[in-house]
Chain A
């Protein structure tokens, strides 16, 4: 028991929590932008898988992690283009389309993995990039300032997303289009063009979240994201469609995941109990959705296709 509560273990668990939070955060921030503009994308998980595989495969082939990340972003943009075509041009039902994207990502990445890679080959994972000086601070340095680039990017995106939504004309357009698209339309704001941009950004971020998972693990396997994309969608509701709220949710889930892992590693819980414990994030999601998020109000036009009424 002493082991579990020693400073070093607590520090390691918190640091791991922040690391685990990053993929949630990247995906959920993207989804936040999309939902604020009225687009629901339940396919985050599928896009994350595609991002994870693309990042893994490109890194495996080139040996360049940077190429892997760029490839994941590109794959995300392609998925964004596909989702925009399905929902904006074809005006398909968004909830169902997202499930389709998820199933596509799940099956397609597995197929590509089997065909292109076969036996899992590890790649060099994303190295930690300790921030000079700050990482030397005792405890705090280890918890906050000794992470991979993608972790820093995820957290830096929080103020960026907040600023874009609240302080820019583009953000004003996003909010208008997500609440009252008819009003935006009469003022000459193109509803679908605005949504296209948020869809592209959110898919790129989802793919980046997947890349973060694969590059952290240094490997790809079937369903490597294990439902984190769905939790990311839930986190948008948890965070009441606000960047900072979403970050709190991502941190909570990251830390819970880290604690669960720690408990397993230390061997406090074993066997069936550890499998049950692994359900903690999922249970937390449900608890959060029926409590916290009931108070917040979703964007009024969420998941509603827009077309000028005849």
Chain B
């Protein structure tokens, strides 16, 4: 029996209402008494750091989890969403952060998936027809017969949205939809979202990009540690106020860039061509230089050769032609060990895969690079005294929050694991720092700290190549920005020379003059 009374006032019935929703996992309360309301034709933003409980809450709305307490109301009635198919049947759509598309199927097939068909046959003709109508109405152009793996990230997202609209979604949950988009693509997405809002679709927009949140939201609910820590509207708040609600203390969003006059070129990449995983050309005749005391940022949509560039410079991947020179010494053909010996340190983008070993302790991860050398090792035996002393020093100076230096690294939060990696790499006194996605998945507080340490390295004269998909990060830190597309340099701009929009257009393939 439901005890909830539907509201009586016409037009005032929320599409979705969460009342006191609580979800516990062993050892954590992921959601603690959360209230949230979405009216038809309203965009409500859910803002919060990683681990604040946004994803759990949305999985409850989508029927992937059941709440331990509280109720989920749709149109004022207890929704009782038992499964994703139940949620779909009730008009709830979800755009997952990691696209839920089958890459080997076509767009139409992905849309039709799970919808049944006449007499069990998968006939794509009616699907294509309706898909064309929906695409046109919302300006979502995608070729229905294209295989998903052939699509760009933006197209994949449109396919995802189409999938939900095709199922007549009245409530759409968008989990960090802008994380993978260039600024112009974000603008296109917002056009679609506004059209959907005009059609009465209610939306929950999840993001941690404060500028976008202020631009698109009608209401903003902030989560921290599983609780609602604030509720506001764009007109009543600011980026700083939102950040403070997320983190629980004042945070600085602007980065103080100390004055450093760059020295001579340290890292030179000349005509570098690197093959990709599928035999394609990932990096195509790319040249750049990084001087001492300078941060050069690589801006580009993910998958445009950034990873291959970093791998090739660090000796993890062979190059077909070109040269990588550090301090006049060629690096190509050397392995990672030798590249390190030439004064290069590397913060890889996948910290848990390439940066640290989760099952190793913090102390072990901190000494990994030099584990076979004095002082950590003498005549093949590890010197645990030296290792522990070194670890304690780094944990203290990099403010790594860990129960102890002998804790397994995987138990740490993303931000603290990243601090372990950064502590190890920055303490190597390298001339060149190769830094990929340093703050991805890291909370605002840790990101602020990591950025400060990066700028400190810059002041100390390191040549830093920063690869990031977060354009705000690249623009905030870089002295020069090199825009890449399909492994080629599209253009280069100095700090403050171009807006995010202009750089975004270059990332999408327009030359600077056209932009």
Contacts and interface: CB of A to CB of B under 8 A. Distances in A.
A176 B122 contact: no
B112 interface: yes
Contacts of A183: 99-102, 110, 113
A185 B112 CA distance: 14
Interface in A179-223: 179-180, 182-189
B103 interface: yes
Contacts of A310: 25
Given A172-B112, A180-B103, A187 B88 contact: yes
- Interface of A, secondary structure class, is helix
A6 interface: no
B116 interface: yes
Interface string A248-277: 000000000000000000000000000000
Given A167-B122, A170-B120, A188-B85, A175 B105 contact: yes
Interface residues of A, number: 22
Interface in B71-125: 83-86, 88, 94, 96, 98-105, 109-110, 112-117, 120-122
B105 A188 contact: no
B113 A173 contact: yes
Given A183-B102, A187-B84, A188-B83, A308 B64 contact: yes
A188 B25 contact: no
Nearest to A180: B102
Contact of A172 (B84, B88, B98, B105): B105
B426 interface: no
A50 B105 CA distance: 37
A176 B102 contact: yes
A40 B443 CA distance: 40
B62 interface: yes
Contacts of B163: 187
A176 B85 contact: no
A168 interface: yes
Contacts of A169: 112, 115-117, 120-122
Nearest to B94: A186
B113 A189 contact: yes
A208 B300 CA distance: 55
Contact of A176 (B25, B98, B105): B105
A167 B121 contact: yes
Nearest to B89: A188
Given A179-B103, A187-B84, 10 more contacts: A168-B121, A169-B116, A170-B120, A175-B105, A176-B113, A180-B100, A183-B110, A183-B113, A186-B84, A188-B84
8 nearest A-B residue pairs (beta carbon): A188-B85, A187-B114, A183-B100, A169-B117, A180-B102, A189-B114, A186-B100, A176-B102
Interface of B: 25, 62, 64, 83-86, 88, 94, 96, 98-105, 109-110, 112-117, 120-122, 163
16 contacts: A167-B122, A168-B120, A169-B115, A169-B121, A171-B122, A175-B104, A176-B102, A176-B113, A179-B102, A179-B105, A180-B101, A180-B102, A183-B102, A186-B64, A188-B86, A189-B113
Interface of A: 167-173, 175-176, 179-180, 182-189, 300, 308, 310
